[in-house]
Chains A and B, each alone.
Chain A
Amino acid sequence: MYISGWGNFPRIHSKVYRHWSINQVQSAISNSSEIIPTGLLRSYGDSALNSATLSALSLNKILNFDQSNKTITCESGVSFMELINFLSRYNLTLPVTPGTKFITIGGAIASDIHGKNHHRSGSFGSWVQSIRIISADGTIHNCSHTEEIDLFRATIGGMGLTGMILDATIRLVPLKSTSIEQITFRANDLKNLFDLFEQNKDAEYSVSWLDTNSTSDKFGRGVLFVGKEINENQELILSEPKLNIPFYFPNKTLNKLSVSLLNNLYYRVNNSGRKQVAFDEFFYPLDVLNNWNRGYGKNGFIQYQFVVPKEFSYQTITKVLKTMHQFGISSFLTVLKLMGKSNDFLLSFPMEGYTLAMDIPLSNATLELAKKIDEIIIDNGGRLYLTKDARMSEEMFWKTYTKIEDFIEIKSKYDPNNKFQSLQSKRLGVGV
């Protein structure tokens, strides 16, 4: 069947294997010359695409729940929405969540996802206690901080390239509140936005939106959202999307003019102040709209997300925005966040510094712009998020992911014939 990532680019034909029994998973692996595990296909680019894919969606069972030790063991295809709903009955929750609840545990591990609390809680991988994974020859490995440590370090953030995750044990945290007190700060320029992040670095959650269109004295203006847990516990039921985009919008719907208007409007409607918002609304504002990616049209879009070390962040983001102005290209769903420290996982994305994510409709100009921004990111010691990437060059990847050689050494041990490959890994030259 035809599959694509969330950016609808690229779109390819794939033989999809979907099994729950270990025997069948093993035979799907052995029958394929190359294969990549998939879940809910919320990664944007080509990291979960190949001619054969191994879906985790039938691996959808919770295997064990230990309330007193605050751990849960579940199969890799269980979604965040299911888990968060289930755990809330015991006043527990997942320690880290990204901007959508429609992702799987397996995907969260493979992407080593981060959330609005990265500066305090780190990425998802640091909360994984152990993983059971099937490697290329069909062997089941139990890896953790104490067993098969090399495989553990390569699998978290490893984009599915070390094998098929069967299940994992995750450490949980208390669910302090089902509502979040959201404090909104409007920043009239980029400098102001950075200062606000610094002033709020002890806040539990923080994220900001940035206006990529604004110029002169409003250059880099934005809105910072800070979240604080308030001790109010009601029943938490995360909901399915309430609205649906049933078809693709015309490719030019989000053009320079409409995005500029939207950006202006968004800045104006978000006044400084504080209000109480529901868990769903604070963490997953876009999940309300099913298939929102169709708003970008059939051609699809790219999400360009980079992180750069803190000391170079301001100059980098200034340069990036100026480059976008030169190209006359802007982004609406633009997210800026101050991240905390990096971890030991070999292909993990986060590092201490600012990360900027932009959604841009796909065109030749967009791809040219992306190449220009790549240079700025490389020069400033940053890197791109593999989960969003659909077009990075092999050269850039090898320059910016500094632990790639260690990763490849471990991959060659568990996957000597390079069976686990994606279109992305081939493009980036992650061979053995």
Chain B
Amino acid sequence: MNSKRCLIIGATSDIAKELIYIFANNGYSLDLAARRIDELDRIANDLAIRYKTEVINYQLDIENLISVNQFMNNYKHIPDVVVFAIGYLGNQKLAETDWEEAKKIIDINYTNQIPLLNHFANLLEKSNLGTIIGISSIAGERGRKANYFYGSAKAALTQYLSGLRQRLFDTEVNVLTVKPGFIRTKMTSHLNVPPIFEGNARDVAEKIFKAYKKNKPVLIIPAIYKLLNMVIKLLPEAIYKKLNI
């Protein structure tokens, strides 16, 4: 029997790198797509030694739609799992005055992922099997002054995935939306957060894999954000707008 196939888009993000090793350890073959092909080659060599994993690397620059189209043309397989592990926090302050930065945040976190999501949703729907995992963010639940460009793009992604899940309800295709809270990664290395609100990429990846195995629809992690999120969503706007969070 052939091993199951997992495609990871944005494979060099910290959460993706942990996920790669969990999928490999569970016998999946891997297709990895990211901008930095040298980093992917390094991972592929290591995976071949550690798990004898078959890995195919693809160059994909999510900022560039030409590259996105090229990738879709080059990619000839029907994966069992597709993971969207793309995130760009960007510079909120800069984006408030600089459209280039604002657009970049929106494109990477939402717009440019849509052709890929459409493509793989259609592909899996046709084969009537598989899972789409989208890593969105808890920041997409309610806008905050600290990151509302990032947050609004992630909100759009969350809503897209929600709609897609409804569309594919009658099929054997599952859609998992992951909403991480604050995770200590290279994307967030400059931020300071109290340790109880902080997760790490390894734990997130393990929980994602478990949720995928159980066909869960939504995963909020670390768990403390479930509560936090509930409270924050219940606050009336008249109060929320005054908060310095």
Find out whether the CB atom of A62 lies under 8 angstroms from the CB atom of B42. Answer: no
Contact call A61/B46, Cβ cutoff below 8 A? yes
Q: Are B39 and A62 in contact (CB under 8 A)?
A: no
Scan residues 3-41 of chain B and give those whose CB is less than 8 A from a CB of chain A: 38-39
Hey, which chain A residues are within 8 Å of B46, CB to CB? Answer: 61-63
B129 CB-CB contact with A under 8 Å: no
Q: Report the minimum CB–CB distance from A380 to chain B (whole Å).
A: 45
A21 and B39 CA atoms in complex are apart in Å by 8
Chain B residues near A86: list those with CB within 8 A.
50
Q: Is B218 an interface residue (CB 8 A)?
A: no
Cβ of A20 and Cβ of B49 under 8 Å apart?
no
Within 8 A of B (CB), among A19-51: 20-21
* Distance, CA A63 to CA B49, complexed state (A): 8
Question: Hey, what's the 0/1 contact readout for B34-77 against A, CB within 8 Å counting as 1?
Answer: 00001100110110011000000000000000000000000000
Q: Interface residues of B: mostly helix, strand, loop or mixed?
A: helix
Asked whether any CB of chain B lies closer than 8 Å to the CB of A64, the reply is yes
B49 adjacent to A64 (CB under 8 Å): yes
Do A65 and B42 touch across chains, with their CB atoms under 8 A apart?
no
- Report the nearest B residue to A85, measured CB to CB: B50
User: Is there an interface contact between B39 and A20, defined as CB atoms closer than 8 Å?
Assistant: yes
Complex formed: what's the CA distance from A65 to B45 in Å?
A: 11
B45 surroundings in chain A (CB, below 8 A):
61, 63
List of B residues within 8 angstroms of A21 by Cβ: 38-39
Q: How far is the CB of A389 from chain B (nearest CB, A)?
A: 29
For the complex, count residues of B whose C-beta is within 8 A of A.
8
Residues of A in contact (CB 8 Å), total 8
Q: How far is the CA of A46 from the CA of B52 in the complex (A)?
A: 40
Contact B49–A65 (Cβ < 8 Å): yes
* Interfacial chain B residues near A65, Cβ < 8 Å: 49
A218-B50 Cα distance, complex, nearest whole Å? 51
Which residues of chain B are within 8 angstroms of A61 by Cβ–Cβ distance? 42-43, 45-46
Could you tell me which residues of chain A, from 284 to 307, have a CB within 8 Å of some CB in chain B?
none
A21 to B46, CA, bound (A): 15
Contacts of A64 in B (CB 8 A): 49
Tell me, rounded to whole Å, the shortest Cβ–Cβ distance linking B222 to chain A. Answer: 14
Bound together, the chains give a CA A63 to CA B42 distance in angstroms of: 8
Residues of B within 8 Å of A63, CB to CB, are 45-46, 49
**Bound-state Cα–Cα, A63 to B46, Å:** 6
Whole-angstrom CA separation of A20 from B14 in the bound complex: 13
Measured CB to CB, the closest approach of chain A to B14, in angstroms, equals 10
Q: Mark A57-74, 1 if CB is under 8 A from B, else 0.
A: 000011111000000000
Bound CA–CA A123/B43 (angstroms): 31
CB proximity of B56 to chain A, nearest CB, Å: 18
Complex-state Cα separation, A65 to B50, whole angstroms: 9
Q: How far is the CA of A27 from the CA of B52 in the complex (A)?
A: 34
| Chain B residues in 8 Å Cβ range of A62 | 46, 49-50
What's the least CB distance linking A22 to chain B, in Å? 11
> Which of A20, A61, A63, A86 gathers the greatest number of chain B CB atoms within 10 Å?
A61
Q: Report A-chain residues with C-beta under 8 Å of the C-beta of B38.
A: 21
**Which residues of chain A have C-beta atoms less than 8 A from B39's C-beta?**
20-21
B98 to chain A, nearest CB (A): 27
Of all chain B residues, the one with the shortest Cβ separation from A82 is B50
State A364–B228 Cα separation when bound (angstroms). Answer: 44
* 7 cross-chain pairs, A with B, having the tightest CB-CB distances, nearest first: A61-B46, A62-B49, A65-B49, A62-B46, A61-B42, A86-B50, A62-B50
Can you report 17 A-B residue pairs in the complex whose CB atoms are below 8 A from each other? A20-B39, A20-B42, A21-B38, A21-B39, A61-B42, A61-B43, A61-B45, A61-B46, A62-B46, A62-B49, A62-B50, A63-B45, A63-B46, A63-B49, A64-B49, A65-B49, A86-B50
Q: A21-B39, A61-B45, A62-B49 are in contact. List 14 more A-B contacts (CB 8 A).
A: A20-B39, A20-B42, A21-B38, A61-B42, A61-B43, A61-B46, A62-B46, A62-B50, A63-B45, A63-B46, A63-B49, A64-B49, A65-B49, A86-B50
